[in-house]
Amino acid sequence: MEHFPPSITIAGLVFDISTVIMSVFTALLVLLIVWISTRNMSAGVPRGWQNFFEWVIDFVRGIAGQFMDAKTSTKFITLAITLFLYIFIGNQLGVMANFTTAYTAPNPAIGLTQEQFAKHAHVVVEHGQNVREVTVAWFKSPTASPSVTFGLAFMVLIYAHILGIRKDPGGYVKHYFEPQPWMVILHVMEEFIIKPLTLPLRLFGNIFAGEVLIAFLLAGSVAAVTLPLIVWLGYSVFVGAVQAYIFTTLTLVYISQKVVDDH
pLDDT in tens, 226-262: 777 778 778 888 999 999 999 999 999 999 999 987 6
CA distance 55 to 58: 5
For residue 95, the tally of other CB atoms under 10 A from its CB is 21
pLDDT of amino acid 143: 93
Give the DSSP H or E segment for 129.
Answer: strand 129-139
Determine how many CB atoms are found less than 10 A away from the CB of residue 96.
Answer: 13
pLDDT of amino acid 237 = 86
The confidence score (pLDDT) of residue 28 equals 96
Give residue 110's pLDDT: 59
Q: Where are the alpha helices (DSSP H) in the chain?
A: 17-38, 48-64, 70-74, 77-96, 114-120, 146-167, 169-175, 184-189, 195-218, 222-259
What pLDDT does 146 receive?
A: 92
pLDDT of residue 25: 94
Which pLDDT value is given to residue 62? 94
Predicted TM-score (pTM) of this structure: 0.85
Q: What pLDDT score does 220 carry?
A: 62
CA distance 142 to 126: 31
Q: What is the structure's pLDDT at 118?
A: 66
**pLDDT at site 261:** 73
**What residues contact residue 14 under an 8 Å CB cut-off, 6+ apart?**
7, 8
Cis peptide before 179 (omega within 30 of 0): yes
Q: How much is the pLDDT for 50?
A: 84
Interacting residues of 194 by C-beta distance below 8 A, sequence separation 6+: none
Handedness of CA 243, 246, 249, 250 (dihedral sign): negative
Which residue ranges of the chain lie beneath pLDDT 50? 1
